[in-house]
Amino acid sequence: MKKLIIVPTYNEKDNIDKIAPKVLEQDDLIDILIVDDNSPDGTGELADEMARDNSRIKVLHRKGKLGLGSAYVAGFNYGIEHKYDLIFEMDADFSHDPKYIPELIKASEEYNLVLGSRWVKGGGVEGWPWYRYTASWGANLAARLLLSLKPKDITSGFRCYHREVLEGINLHGIISSGYAFQEELIYRTQKAGFSIGEIPITFVDRKEGQSKMTKKEIITSSKAIIKLFMHRRGVGQIVKFGIIGATGTAIDFGILNILAVVFKVNVYLSASISFIVAATNNFYWNKRWTFRGAANNKKMHLQFVQYLIVAGIGFSLNLVILRICVPAFSSAFKLENSAPLVVNLSKVVSTLLVMTWNFLGSKKWVFKG
């Protein structure tokens, strides 16, 4: 099994010559590929010297700081071209202890991709202030939820891929270049049906040099996550449900205003009528459009009954929220219960909550086969 450890570098001259021998001694079939972005501190020249003395060390030079993600893509292409069986990602700064390499190799017998993970039992971080710890953990959780990713440490930069994974996930289509790159690769790997395993590692904060993680990086990465999220199947469903919800809401607000404001019908009765009309409208269009083709094996009348139950609970929820909001807003603004501001503001609050409930009920129950 030929193994390639890719180490991207930008200003790592104090680390690179120390980490390389430690990596090579882990296994006889390991080569190192240093991908340097023309580091101003001379890391690239040092890497060339190392490569002259040791044929197991390879170097790729790029014109300038083009980002961690594209550095890895360049390295992956090299690994694919030269038919390495296992291709690794690893930092130069000793945050990733080379002693874990044999464990990653062992686990790769079972998984297509293995992550060195800080957030599984036995893993952790050493030397991070609490805010960096919290930020990393939170960003990780948010991205996991948005993209439904199964692994615990999706930003980990210590990994072992089988070459087949990198050949199978279309490296050219990657949209993120910085740190979000790590998440995007997991997203693609999971979507392509490859298995992903994790082994616990202790990530040690760097002692030499500086982290390249900047505020700008964090913003770019968050944007990339949102872009990926928008590409997902199922997001279209939320958008459709939202559009139908908006038309239903317009009907709801319209009828409520006509009854309660113009005709001074009791506000709760008005809200009940408008809600029922809007709910029927929403069911019809969601069946036709949002969840079209879903749960076709289910009898239509059963679906309708289930929908009425969901909507009925939503409707009660709506009344309860109005019952709380209307008096609260009317006393807060010193206005009548039927004042347009009181009625509509209350309705906004209840609509948001009830629509969330309705979406989940529709998706997970009514239109689930």
* Cα 199 to Cα 122: distance, rounded to the nearest angstrom: 9
Interface segment toward ligand GDD; rule CB under 6 A; list 51-59, 87-95, 106-114, 222-230: 87-95
Given candidates 211, 214, 247, 356, which one binds ligand GDD under the rule CB under 6 A?
211
- Name every residue whose Cβ is closer than 8 Å to that of residue 275 and which is 6 or more positions away in sequence: 252, 315, 318
* Cα 163 to Cα 6: distance, rounded to the nearest angstrom: 13
- Least Å from the CB of residue 20 to ligand GDD: 12
Interface segment toward Mn ion; rule CB under 5 A; list 56-64, 205-213, 337-345, 357-365: 205-213
Q: Does residue 65 interact with ligand GDD by CB under 6 A? A: yes
The gap from C-alpha 328 to its chain's centroid, in whole angstroms, comes to 38
Q: Which of 15, 18, 20 is nearest to 59 (CA)?
A: 20
Q: Does residue 132 interact with Mn ion by CB under 5 A? A: no
Answer whether 118's CB lies under 8 Å from 223's CB. no
Size of the site for ligand GDD (CB under 6 A): 24
| The pairing of beta strand 113-117 with beta strand 86-89 | unpaired
67 binds, among ligand GDD, Mn ion, none (CB under 5 to 8 A by kind): ligand GDD
- Least Å from the CB of residue 260 to ligand GDD: 54
- Least Å from the CB of residue 284 to ligand GDD: 47
Write the binding mask 150 to 169 for ligand GDD: x where contact by CB under 6 A, - elsewhere.
-----x-x------------
Given candidates 2, 61, 82, 206, which one binds Mn ion under the rule CB under 5 A?
206
- Least Å from the CB of residue 25 to Mn ion: 22
- Return the structure tokens found at 6: 């890719």
Nearer to ligand GDD, 67 or 151 (CB): 67
What amino acid is encoded at 132 in this protein? R
* Cα 50 to Cα 183: distance, rounded to the nearest angstrom: 32
Interface segment toward Mn ion; rule CB under 5 A; list 33-41, 60-68, 90-98, 316-324: 90-98
As a whole number of Å, the CA-based R_g of the chain is: 28
* Cα 261 to Cα 323: distance, rounded to the nearest angstrom: 17
Nearer to ligand GDD, 26 or 306 (CB): 26
| The pairing of beta strand 124-126 with beta strand 202-204 | parallel
Q: Which residues bind Mn ion (CB under 5 A)?
A: 91, 93, 95, 206
